[in-house]
Amino acid sequence: MLVAPRPSMSTLDEPVVDQPVTFIELGPPSAAVEPFKQLVMRSHTSDLRLYCTVPTWSPSSDNCLDLLDLHKLRTQFLIFIHDLVQALRSSGVAASYVLVPSSSSRCIMCTGGCNDLASAVDILRKSPLDHRQNVLLADLGKSLCLIMT
């Protein structure tokens, strides 16, 4: 029989506080490829797998008013991913990506694993983001996350 230690009263009384996420604007998608590539290459010099969400329709979407907006966002994001992977490969990093359908109306790319992507989606779902034309960067500790709205 395995018995877990009883948590102390001090840990039960402490409220769980979510740390606010800070965002850095990298500019429009065409200009954001190079800065993000430079950030990624600081920690990944040989191989890298990018985990990316591809939004599906969400009735609570604040940035996609109809399917045309959603299609435009997905197309812009896929072009960005392709350009980034090409830039990384030309710099000697064996880059690849995985696309994951998501009910979020945001396109998210993480340099960490699939679990990092799932936690990033949860964290970013709670973070208020305005509809912007620029690509945003969030440092969530274990991985870099890029957000396109």
Measured CA to CA, the distance from residue 110 to residue 116 in angstroms comes to 7
Q: How many secondary structure helices (H) and strands (E) does the chain include?
A: 4, 6
Residue 33 and residue 36: Cα distance in Å, rounded? 5
Render pLDDT for 128-149 as a digit per residue (tens, 0 to 9).
666 567 788 887 777 788 888 7
* pLDDT score of 98 more than 50: yes
pTM for this entry: 0.77
pLDDT given at position 12? 41
pLDDT in tens, 36-81: 899 888 877 778 899 998 888 766 656 666 778 888 889 999 999 9
